[in-house]
Amino acid sequence: MTGVRKAAIIGGGVIGGGWAARFALNGWEVRVFDPDPEAERKIGEVLANARRALPGLGNVALPEEGPIRFCDSLAEAVEGVTWVQESVPERLDLKHRIYGHLMAVLPEGALVGSSTSGFKPSELQEGQARAGAIMVAHPFNPVYLLPLVELVSSGASAPEDIVRAQEILRDIGMYPLHIKAEIDAHIADRLLEAVWREALWLVKDGVATTEEIDEAIRMGFGLRWAQMGLFETYRIAGGEAGMAHFIAQFGPCLEWPWTKLMDVPELTDELIEKIAAQSDAQSGAHSIRELERIRDTNLVGIMRRLRWEDWGAGKVIREGDAAREADAGLVRHVDDVKDLSKPVLTQSRAVPLEWLDYNGHMTESRYLEAFADATDRLMEMIGCDLAYIEAGGSYFTAETHIRHLDEAKAGERFDIRTQVLVGEGKKLHLYHEMWAGERLCATGEHFLLHVDLKTRRSAPPAPELEVALGKLARAHAALPRPEAAGKVGRLS
């Protein structure tokens, strides 16, 4: 999507704050309406955590952060917006009252998403003017990191509006799961409710503590669910015979009285106190903000690993990276470089949380990873892409020299610009510079040789690759040679 994009957030609690951060960090102008005098502080704290975590989730820099403005009226908040996200408390009468005022000032063509976890869209639309503009857009906390948003439509929703809603949500890096059938609590919360009910019984009956239940989830099936979900996990459990065998083998146990999913324990004061005390013992050493940061760090690590495999939530991140490359100035072929007379941009991204060391800044090995990614990008630009490598040609790195000149911290954006010092025959000599704004953080000098992957020995590149590399090398030959090129630093 291009041009100035504006979104309004109605309700600035935990979910509304997450939406505000998600939109703003993806370059949208955000307006917030919430009469709570603490709304600006609360959203500011959520935004601080989002700035720490979200920019390093992908491998391409996010756009410049959009401004956030706190408004005194609904009319001011929605002026000129294309998307309104309602995140007020789960009371249908309150939502109807908000929509009554909202529809009188909603811009033509704007869409309204509700963060409701339980109400159906037809219930939200009842009695409202322009009812079809209202849909369920139910996210998961933290909204600024987790990609899933359950997009639920009704018969009043126009097909083109559903498509537009999906495009908007994808633009901010989310995965809009379109649920076509209306049902209370949608899909994900119904599954969560089943687990939650059984967990309450296990605590009430003294079978397990809150900590033991959490350990059972996060040490076992929670890890499987994070990347394969339920049915794909059980398909593997069926072995070579697949899902049919799994159901035949384990299906009869569904009739055994193991769970109490049709029963809900009475939430007596005694049970509530028991759960609260166990939870305090389990997690009370950390503040809520500390727990949020621990959660965010873990989620980023898991999802970045999934990105490597182009799997699950990682596939959404990879697709988001691809969509942002052009805006970030990254290209895939040397012919698309606008100005060959200067070093080419080969990386534009932010420092991920997993790249930090005990000193709170980017650790040594990750500089090599960043420069290696820049080398891979340049190789692709001259035609040494996956297809070329599968055909039997590639470059092997023979020598590397990195200088660490300044700090790079979590979430900090950096660009890598690459100069070709030698690009002829079998030889490829590159000089990378890593910049964080006006600060030169590091340089990386890499010498590579083209190889035949069948013999694993050096060999000339294919003619088309030699032409593309020669074009870049000749242009860069006119550049001054970097002063540090070919030198090894000495400690005094």
DSSP string, 20-45: HHHHHHTT-EEEEE---TTHHHHHHH
Q: Which residue has the tokens 């698309």?
A: 336
Q: Which residue has the tokens 């088309």?
A: 464
Q: Which residues are annotated as a binding site for NAD(+)?
A: 11-16
Alpha-carbon dihedral angle through residues 131, 133, 134, 137, given to the nearest 10 degrees: 160
CB burial string 141-173: b at 16+ within 10 A, e below: ebbbbbbbbbbbbbebbeeebbeebbebbbbbb
Write out the two tokens for 402.
Answer: 């990195």
Contact 414, 441 (CB under 8 A): yes
- The C-alpha atoms of residue 354 and residue 487 are separated, in whole angstroms, by 31
Contact 29, 6 (CB under 8 A): yes
Q: Which residues are annotated as a binding site?
A: 11-16
Q: Is 386 left (phi over 0), alpha (psi -120 to 50) or beta?
A: alpha
Contact 33, 295 (CB under 8 A): no
Spell out the residues 6+ positions from residue 114 whose beta carbon is closer than 8 angstroms to its own.
85, 86, 87, 95, 121, 124, 134, 135, 136, 137, 138
- The C-alpha atoms of residue 401 and residue 396 are separated, in whole angstroms, by 15
Residue 325 carries which side chain, given as an amino acid letter? E
DSSP string, 424-487: ETTEEEEEEEEEETTEEEEEEEEEEEEEETTTTEE-PPPHHHHHHHHHHHHHHTTSPPPTTTT-
Helices (H), 251-381: 269-283, 288-308, 313-328, 364-381
Write out the two tokens for 41.
Answer: 């502080």
Write out the two tokens for 467.
Answer: 């032409």
Strands 134-139 and 148-152: antiparallel
- The C-alpha atoms of residue 171 and residue 1 are separated, in whole angstroms, by 7
Residue 271 carries which side chain, given as an amino acid letter? L
